[in-house]
Structure 1
Amino acid sequence: MTDTITIVGNIATAPEQKVLPSGVCVTRFRVASGTRRFDRQSSAWVDGPTNWYGVSAFRGLGENAARSLHKGERVVVTGRLRLRAWENDGKRGMEAEIDADALGHDLMFGVSRYERTHAKHAGPDEQPAPDPLSESTTGESGDAWAPPGLAEASFGDLASAETPY
């Protein structure tokens, strides 16, 4: 059974990228997620307990994570939680691991810049998938996110238009 979880925390280890024997890229790192609260009695911020998670990002997400994330950065991680029992030299424990579905910087504490990556194609005979933001797929305005037919419309035009409801 897997549960979906979202955590916010700091990257505690440098992200390490590996390619599995199957050819799949995986990037792994650890995240420390803790709580902080203001104690009115002492008029100071108090740190609560810290939870540690191992994070694994596969395929394209793993490649982008290795290029984008660094030790010490604050991140948001969403994925599938797995608890794994381990034993080493007579010691036993449980480890919380997250197979990431989405990763990103926590913008509460800094800024980030998004750069779209292009999908790789498998062989020399195959054509790469068209970039959805390229000139050929954009509307007349050049904006890939603009609805069709709104190339010449301005916000003023839209505000004065009658609503269908």
Structure 2
Amino acid sequence: MAGNGIRVTVIGRLTADPELRKTKSGISVASFSIASNERGFDSESQRFVDGDATFVRCSYWRDGGENFAESNEKGNRVIATGYLRQNDYTDREGVERTSLELVVEEAGPSNQFATTEYSKRKGNGNKSSASKTKTKAKAGASTKASSGSDDESDDDFDF
């Protein structure tokens, strides 16, 4: 989804389970809100303290939104990136208002304080694959560098 707005990335916690719905034309959209706040060290109290929360309303369209809604729930720490869209509207009292919404292009779980499992979708994104796989990253070289010794150690490193 190409956007003309300001590109941003938000990291925070979901305030509720993502709500998945379909438009009249059958397009899926997941709506959710992310609460994000700064955390800093207070030298006076010698403790880390949380700042005020900022709440960001998000919409994630099509297969990505379906996958996100299926994979995440209230309280999960997530990362979402996309562009800001300004919405002008009139509230119930007749007052003109403006809100900002993050139109998500990519989103997923944050691995700062948690681990996740990766499960690839088949075909058009509507059917889960039969097996979930948990993979570890490995670095390897196709050829061994000659160090002048007969060291038979493994060149693959677990990260």
TM over 0.5: yes
Q: Which runs of 5+ in 1 are unaligned?
A: 122-153
Given that 2:18 and 2:73 are in contact with CA atoms closer than 8 Å, whether structure 1 keeps it comes out as yes
**More helix by proportion, 1 or 2?**
1
The yes-or-no answer on 1:104 pairing with 2:108 is yes
Q: Which runs of 5+ in 2 are unaligned?
A: 126-139, 147-159
The yes-or-no answer on 1:19 pairing with 2:22 is yes
**Of 77, 82, 91, which residue of structure 1 is paired with 2:85?**
82
Given that 2:17 and 2:69 are in contact with CA atoms closer than 8 Å, whether structure 1 keeps it comes out as no
Residue 159 of structure 1 corresponds to: 144
Moved more, 85-94 or 35-44: 85-94
Q: 1:69-124: CA deviations, max 9, x gaps? A: 10110000001111323442335544221111111111011111111101229xxx
Q: 1:39-64: CA deviations, max 9, x gaps? A: 00111222212211111111110110
Moved more, 110-119 or 88-97: 88-97
Q: Secondary structure at the match of 1:158?
A: coil
Q: Distance in 1 between matches of 2:97 and 2:55?
A: 13
Q: Secondary structure at the match of 2:119?
A: coil
**Of 39, 57, 60, which residue of structure 2 is paired with 1:57?**
60
Q: Distance in 2 between matches of 1:76 and 1:10?
A: 9
**More strand by proportion, 1 or 2?**
2
Given that 2:60 and 2:104 are in contact with CA atoms closer than 8 Å, whether structure 1 keeps it comes out as yes
Map 1:29-44 onto structure 2 (within 5 A): 29-44=32-47
Q: Percent identity?
A: 28
Residue 70 of structure 2 corresponds to: 67
Counterpart residue type for residue 46 of structure 2 = S
- Residues 19, 89 of structure 1: alpha-carbon distance in 2 compared, 3 angstrom cutoff: closer
- Residues 24, 87 of structure 1: alpha-carbon distance in 2 compared, 3 angstrom cutoff: same
Moved over 3 A (4+): 89-94
Q: Secondary structure at the match of 1:160?
A: coil
Q: Distance in 2 between matches of 1:25 and 1:101?
A: 14
Tell me how many residue pairs correspond in the alignment: 128
Using structure 2 for the length normalisation, give the TM-score. 0.72
Q: Distance in 1 between matches of 2:114 and 2:89?
A: 36
